Chain A
Amino acid sequence: NAGVTQTPKFQVLKTGQSMTLQCAQDMNHEYMSWYRQDPGMGLRLIHYSVGAGITDQGEVPNGYNVSRSTTEDFPLRLLSAAPSQTSVYFCATVRDGGYEQYFGPGTRLTVT
Chain B
Amino acid sequence: ELKVEQNPLFLSMQEGKNYTIYCNYSTTSDRLYWYRQDPGKSLESLFVLLSNGAVKQEGRLMASLDTKARLSTLHITAAVHDLSATYFCAANYGGSQGNLIFGKGTKLSVKP
Q: Which one of A15-23, A35-43, A61-69, A76-84 contacts B?
A: A35-43
A44 to B, closest residue via Cβ: B102
Q: Are B42 and A90 in contact (CB under 8 A)?
A: yes
A45 to B, closest residue via Cβ: B99
Given contacts A42-B88, A99-B48, A104-B42, contact A94 B104 (CB under 8 A): no
A101 lies within 8 A of chain B by Cβ: yes
Write out the residue numbers on chain A whose beta carbons fall within 8 Å of the beta carbon of B45. Answer: 100-101
How many of chain A's residues have a CB under 8 angstroms from any CB in B?
28
Q: Are A48 and B88 in contact (CB under 8 A)?
A: no
B100 lies within 8 A of chain A by Cβ: yes
Q: Are A98 and B97 in contact (CB under 8 A)?
A: yes
Q: Are B48 and A103 in contact (CB under 8 A)?
A: no
A75 lies within 8 A of chain B by Cβ: no
Most central of B4, B90, B100 by chain A CB within 10 Å = B100
A residues with a Cβ closer than 8 A to B are: 31-33, 35, 40-45, 48, 50, 56, 58-59, 90, 92-94, 97-101, 103-106
